């Protein structure tokens, strides 16, 4: 019986592999002692793929390479289909329903002609009233997404204004995938969800097939095989039936709100439950129609575990009873890396190891800024924070030092004439950088209101792509956490990032006299490819002058 060969995991850190060289071609025989089929390039080294180490080739009477599904030099994720082996002349096409790569047309040997999948006639899909839906690119840096929850099931209708298909976790946030923003669903009458190609909780690359929509009865199987193909094995979701679902385990309290067995919960509640290691199905929902919300997860108390039976009493020890015996049990928790953390790791590692950074630290006297803030808050419609004053001062300073407000683009440097300030916001899953656009043109009150709104959206996972794209300079403030001084990693392609510490009361000296004063330390991280030391220092001098004489921010 034919057998699928997948990309093997040849190291503990390997996530994808490249076929460096095929050592066999379609039709070549395979036998015990001669099972080398390819050279695989992993994240560690180039290694040989020997089928003798993975299976017993003697189980086949006349074992052959029936199909090769990956071109030399191409990379695919671990467990993707790369080949099929079986007995000479055996049919294998039924195994390719979930193939992750198109067939490679390789000529068969004269003595053992074998038809490859690429020899099949092309399928005309132009008249099929259906459409393949791929994983959407919901941010400028998104490379893959996780299907958190399906909001529709196979057979459900999709209408304009009611086209929410799923909740998708990107590298920035968990967002709703609304088909109305991508296609015109009214061109199908009626528009129906025909096929689901990915299970909840699974991660796939951008543009990989996740569903098919169209008119009932449309031949979507022909569309999948003859049109776009998923790069991960497709999983057809079963249509809900009247057959009761298997009973939950006795020790679990399962709360089900939908007829198809899906737990209704907000994206924030699901993310919070995942972080806390709580089974969301055990949480009773108090939201609309029993929907689990954040408060339900916060207040959830798991059922008390049954106490362990006490060990039999030990015989009296020879040592005196007063000698203490210290015991303990080693334990730990592991959590899968989410898409946001993956992107933070990838982008900041790229920045740290590619940009020649240098750091400039300056101390700023905040006495006048503190007094001015008190006066401004007496008339401001919103409360102005020191961070708002920092953002405004940075924006004004950037207009005077445009080289700091630049991008490194490899073969060119872009000087931005607009000032979009990114403000780093810590969230449960990592770090987001919402953007205050044209900050140099806005008043302190406007900046304060916008910063509060964006910060709230970031913490509640309500940011949209327009809220975090396009920043030309970033401010990272840890002063509210009691941090005096730190350095930040540049958010490329930006040229600089400003790390802001807390305001600290200290003792100053003037004309031989001691006095109490308040200072704040800031550190500017610069990419030396675009910003020189003198340029960065001049920017900090202007920034310092603006905060030490804050009335200049109002001009």
Residues known to be catalytic? 528, 532
Sheet-wide strand order for 209-214: 130-134, 209-214, 192-196
List, in sequence order, the alpha helices (H) in 358-385. 367-377
Name the token pair of 413. Answer: 């440097």
Measured CA to CA, the distance from residue 339 to residue 452 in angstroms comes to: 25
Measured CA to CA, the distance from residue 471 to residue 435 in angstroms comes to: 6
Measured CA to CA, the distance from residue 467 to residue 459 in angstroms comes to: 13
* Cα dihedral across residues 313, 316, 320, 325: positive or negative: negative
Q: Classify the phi-psi angles of 251: left when phi > 0, otherwise alpha if psi is within -120 to 50, otherwise beta.
A: alpha
Q: How far is CA 79 from CA 1, 63, 263, 414, in A?
A: 20, 22, 29, 42
Pairing status of strand 513-527 against strand 357-365? antiparallel
Question: Which residues does 219 contact at the CB level (< 8 Å), separation at least 6?
Answer: 128, 130
Name the token pair of 425. Answer: 């916001």
Give the angle 359-365-371 at the CA atoms, nearest 5°. Answer: 135
Beta bridge partners of residue 39, listed in sequence order: 21, 48
For residue 335, how many other CB atoms are within 10 A of its CB? 10
What percent helix, strand, coil does the chain show, rounded to 5? 25, 25, 50
Measured CA to CA, the distance from residue 260 to residue 56 in angstroms comes to: 42
């Amino acid at each position: 019986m034919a057998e699928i060969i997948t990309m093997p995991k040849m190291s503990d850190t390997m996530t994808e592999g490249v076929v460096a060289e095929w050592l066999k071609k379609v039709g070549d025989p395979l036998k015990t002692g001669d099972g080398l089929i390819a050279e695989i390039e992993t994240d560690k080294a180039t290694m040989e793929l020997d089928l003798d180490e993975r299976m017993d080739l003697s189980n086949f009477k006349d074992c052959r390479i029936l199909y090769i599904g990956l071109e030399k030099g191409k990379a695919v994720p671990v467990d993707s289909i790369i080949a099929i082996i079986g007995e000479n002349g055996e049919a294998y096409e039924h195994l390719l329903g979930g193939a992750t790569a198109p067939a490679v047309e390789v000529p068969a040997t004269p003595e053992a002609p074998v038809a490859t999948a690429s020899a099949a006639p092309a399928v005309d899909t132009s008249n099929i009233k259906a459409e393949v839906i791929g994983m959407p690119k919901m941010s400028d840096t998104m490379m893959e997404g996780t299907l958190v929850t399906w909001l529709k099931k196979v057979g459900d209708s999709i209408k304009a204004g009611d086209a929410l298909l799923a909740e998708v976790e990107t590298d920035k946030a968990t967002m709703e995938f609304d088909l109305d923003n991508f296609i015109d669903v009214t061109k199908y009458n009626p528009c129906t969800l025909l096929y689901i190609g990915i299970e909840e909780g699974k991660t796939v690359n951008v543009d990989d097939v996740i569903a098919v929509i169209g008119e009932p009865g449309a031949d979507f199987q022909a569309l999948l095989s003859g049109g776009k193909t998923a790069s991960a094995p497709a999983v057809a979701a079963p249509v809900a039936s009247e057959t009761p679902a298997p009973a939950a385990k006795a020790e679990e309290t399962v709360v089900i709100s939908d007829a198809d067995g899906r737990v209704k919960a907000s994206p924030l509640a699901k993310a919070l439950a995942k972080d806390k290691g709580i089974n969301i199905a055990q949480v009773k929902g108090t939201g609309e129609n029993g929907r689990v919300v954040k408060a339900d997860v916060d207040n959830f108390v798991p059922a008390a575990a049954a106490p362990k039976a006490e060990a039999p009493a030990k015989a009296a020890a020879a040592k005196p009873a007063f000698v203490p015996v210290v015991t303990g049990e080693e334990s730990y928790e592991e959590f899968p890396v989410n898409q946001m953390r993956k992107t933070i790791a990838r982008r900041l590692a790229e920045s740290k190891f590619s940009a020649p950074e240098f750091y400039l630290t300056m101390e700023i006297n905040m006495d006048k800024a503190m007094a001015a803030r008190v006066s401004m808050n007496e008339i401001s419609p919103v409360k102005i924070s020191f961070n708002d004053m920092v953002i405004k001062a940075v924006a004004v300073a950037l207009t005077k030092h445009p080289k700091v407000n630049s991008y490194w683009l490899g073969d060119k440097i872009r000087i931005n004439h607009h000032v979009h300030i990114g403000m780093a916001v810590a969230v449960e899953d990592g770090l987001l950088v919402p953007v205050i656009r044209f900050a140099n043109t806005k008043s302190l009150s406007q900046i304060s209101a916008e910063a509060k709104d964006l910060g709230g959206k970031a913490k509640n996972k309500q940011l949209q792509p327009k809220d975090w794209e396009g920043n030309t300079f970033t401010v990272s403030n840890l002063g509210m956490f009691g941090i005096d001084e730190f350095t930040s990693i540049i958010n490329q392609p930006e040229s600089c990032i400003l790390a802001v510490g807390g305001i600290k009361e200290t003792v100053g000296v003037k004309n031989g006299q001691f006095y109490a004063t308040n200072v704040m330390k800031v550190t500017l991280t610069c990419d030396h490819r675009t910003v020189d030391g003198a340029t960065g220092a001049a920017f900090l001098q202007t920034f310092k002058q603006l905060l030490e004489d804050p009335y200049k921010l109002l001009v």
